[in-house]
Structure 1
Amino acid sequence: MAAVCVSMLSAISFCNDSHAAQDDLQEKVRAAVNAAIEPVVREHRIPGMAVAVTVNGNRYFYNYGVASRESGQRVSQDTLFELGSVSKTLTATLAAYGQALGTLSLNDPASRHWPALRGSAFDKISLLELASYTAGGLPLKFPDEVSGQERLAAYFTRWQPSHAAGTHRLYSNPSIGLAGFLAARSMGKPYAELLETQVFPKLGLTGSYVNVPQREMEKYAWGYAKDDTPVRVNSGALDAEAYGVKSSSADMIRFVEANINGTRLEKSMRRAVAATHAGHFRMGSMMQALGWEWYAYPVSVETIVENSSSEVVLKANPVIRLVPPLDPASRQGNVLLHKTGSTNGFGAYVAFVPGKNIGIVMLGNRNYPNAARIRAAHQILTALDEPPVSATSR
């Protein structure tokens, strides 16, 4: 390109315009991110936040504050944050990958993949219903006494649904956690090993972990509780599957780009990623996919905020099963897919619009309200979706 720019006046003009356009875009992204994120960081006293944005395959990173108040270490694009329930999108990817490899079908009854469940309600509950929170009323969390496979199996075999499977959605760690656990059983290896040795590498993620190795601990941020106590996630039943991934903004924006355009992924993983986008259940204007939730785009921020509120999330809401599932590609990718995630000391949010080739990752080391995350991200994505000013009109 440099040689062409030197040899032809028209090419020089094109090159200058191209650089000017890139500079304009970079400034536009920076201004949009700062305008949305800085007030959130101040209002919610978030010690540190890493934000990554992708626009037409170009990545932009913005880092705020510290990964540790005690050490003063600054946040970077390689800082590891707890993803909380954003991990569920990776659990869903593993389950869909198992289907692509032929080790399971999402329509399989759950008990097919764990003999301990045979003779229970899970003879009539599918992996798909587990992965979409429509199993019939599994709660948000396990009781504290549930730990280890024996107690886990006993809990599930005693549990009785409140609704017929596939009729109501109730957001649940035990539900999608069991889906991930059973997917891993179908593939013959532990969940964490499958994510770290197969899913992450095939997605191009080089700094994501279920269990952070000692050599990477210096990158692992401390989260901060409401009283500013430094905390990290506690272990629990099916914690890895439901909320256990730690990752960086650099890795998560790669994950977003793989979801926006998976053509560079190997065939089975490409099919798996696409499968996680299919809307299997409709709840009002929201489509419940695998891990992801999505809306026709554009969508008002109030609609997303309402469906992410505790009034909705903590209740069993009637849903309509979509047969066949609704493929976002049928809308030319004009949908907004998103997922929130939290642990006691961390708050994460991921959103993207495939048809516009834009996406955002927000990772912070405090658990702050979902509404604030959604509003900030929506503000940024809306700004990035505005038509660019042409070089000739400046």
Structure 2
Amino acid sequence: MESIVNAAIKPVMQQEQIPGMAIAITVNGQAHYFNYGVASKETGTAVNENTLFEIGSVSKTFTTTLAAYAVASGKLSLSDKASSVLPQLRGSAFDNISVLQLGTYSAGGLPLQFPDSADAPDKMLGYFKQWKPVYPAGTYRQYSNPSLGLFGYLAAQSMGASFDDVMEKTLLPKLGLKHTFLKVPPDQMALYAQGYSKDDQPVRVGPGALDSEAYGVKTSAADMLRYVEANMNPLTLEKPLQQAIAATHTGYYTVGDMTQGLGWEAYRFPVTLETLLAGNSTPMAMEAHKVQWLNPSRPQTDNVLFNKTGSTGGFGAYVAYVPSKDIGIVILANRNYPNAERVKVAHTILSALSK
């Protein structure tokens, strides 16, 4: 396995000038770690499986798991209208937009990012109140931080606490993740990798509206692999959490060959590299796509690959796993490099392991 991973990773690190990478692979319940380069060019600290990386939008899968846990606990319904969960939104477009539509980016064209003028916790509700849909709710997928962020915000509201509190005190402990944070504590800062921007400047993610919900998780390869294993084999978890994971794996609609779950995006396995690249392409992130709802929505179990990319200004992450084969991979880097390169690496390694 080491030769397969080295052959896939080393050329990409060189080509993309990535200072450090942590790769974690699970095969039949066995964890394998491969660490490369440095967590910080300034200190020269080597990457290991406990190095903390920003995972950007892979955070969305934690947010959707939390929301699905709220549903399994009887606190929230995916069919609720957003304004019935958050009364401040009454009289806005959110009277006609469901919690599920927010969680599947199909609310009607919420943008990829908040406009700068609304990208602060005290401005975001005002933004949502005046926002006007571009499409009828439920007709188009438009990948969006505000959409998924509001989904998480509503979930926390339904549980009667702040999002950070419910995530750090309820969900993460229940998943057995002791090394996963929204705010890295002072005693863990030495493990927090330094990210590097396109022009090689040191950078870490800054505050923004719904940042915890949409892109705020910092975690290690070891914890992410534990999370992947919980997604593939949830039977060791408490019942509501098992139900929550099943809900995030449920297919709600399709766009081309991609089936949209909650947070996770799914493909029939084996999947061609071309199909996986198309599903993780810039057009998929930046453009609106007409959706085909699955009626009824259904759990995806047999031979399905689940995946999610994530990026911040200085980090790039990718996670993919195939429950029916009991294989999964986590790829963390302290530079934001193209999704296509991450997908190619994962596809190469998973294809070799699934033979």
Q: TM-score range by the shorter chain?
A: over 0.9
1:149-203 deviations in Å (ceiling 9; x for gaps): 5421111111111111111000000000000001001101111111111111111
1:162/1:367 CA distance change after superposition, 3 Å: same
Matched, 1:228 2:189: no
Decide which moves more: 363-372 or 145-154: 145-154
Which residue identity is paired with 1:349?
Y
The amino acid of 1:256's aligned partner reads V
Partner-residue secondary structure (3-state), 2:133: coil
Partner of 2:324: 355
Q: Segments of 4+ in structure 1 off by > 6 A?
A: none
2: distance between equivalents of 1:91 and 1:260? 18
1:384 correspondence with 2:353: yes
Instruction: Between 130-139 and 148-157, report the one with greater CA deviation.
Output: 148-157
Residue in 1 that maps onto 2:335: 366
Of 258, 264, 272, the residue aligned with 2:244 is 272
- Measure the CA separation in 1 of the matches of 2:331 and 2:284: 23
Larger radius of gyration: 1
- 1:41 matched residue in structure 2: 13
Unaligned runs of 5+ in 2: none
Q: Counterpart of 1:13? A: none
- In the alignment, which residue of structure 1 is the partner of 2:90? 118
Matched to 1:200, the amino acid is: L
- Is 1:90 equivalent to 2:62 in the alignment? yes
Q: Distance in 1 between matches of 2:343 and 2:243?
A: 28
- The answer (yes or no) to whether the contact 2:143–2:284 under 8 Å persists in 1 is no
Q: Secondary structure at the match of 1:339?
A: strand
Distance in 1, Cα, partners of 2:170 & 2:121? 24
Q: Secondary structure at the match of 1:274?
A: helix
2:128 matched to 1:156?
yes
Quote the Cα distance in structure 2 between the aligned partners of 1:263 and 1:77: 25
Aligned to 1:328: 300
**What are the superposed Cα offsets for residues 49-93 of structure 1, whole Å, 9 maximum, x if unpaired?**
000000000000000000000000110100000010000000000
Q: Which amino acid aligns with 2:353?
A: L
Q: Identify which range, 360-369 or 162-171, moves more after superposition.
A: 162-171
Matched, 1:249 2:218: no
1:343 is aligned to 312
Of 168, 175, 178, which aligns to 2:147? 175
The alignment's C-alpha RMSD in Å is 0.9
Is the contact between residue 257 and residue 279 of structure 2 (CA under 8 Å) also seen in structure 1?
Answer: no
Deviation at 1:274, TM superposition (A): 1.1
Amino acid at match of 1:275: A
Letter in 1 for 2:267: Y
The amino acid across from 1:169 in the alignment is R
2:101 to 111, 124, 129: 129
Equivalent in the alignment of 1:240: 212
* In 2: Cα distance, 1:100 partner to 1:371 partner: 35
CA distance in structure 1 between the aligned counterparts of 2:284 and 2:165, rounded to whole angstroms: 34
What is aligned with 1:311?
283
Q: Distance in 2 between matches of 1:149 and 1:348?
A: 25
Q: Distance in 1 between matches of 2:295 and 2:169?
A: 34
Tell me if 1:106 matches 2:78.
yes
Distance 1:385 1:308 in 2: 21
Count of matched residue pairs: 355
The Cα shift of 1:320 comes to 0.8
Following superposition, the deviation at residue 114 of structure 1 comes to 1.0
1:12 is aligned to none
- 1:326: Cα distance to partner? 2.6
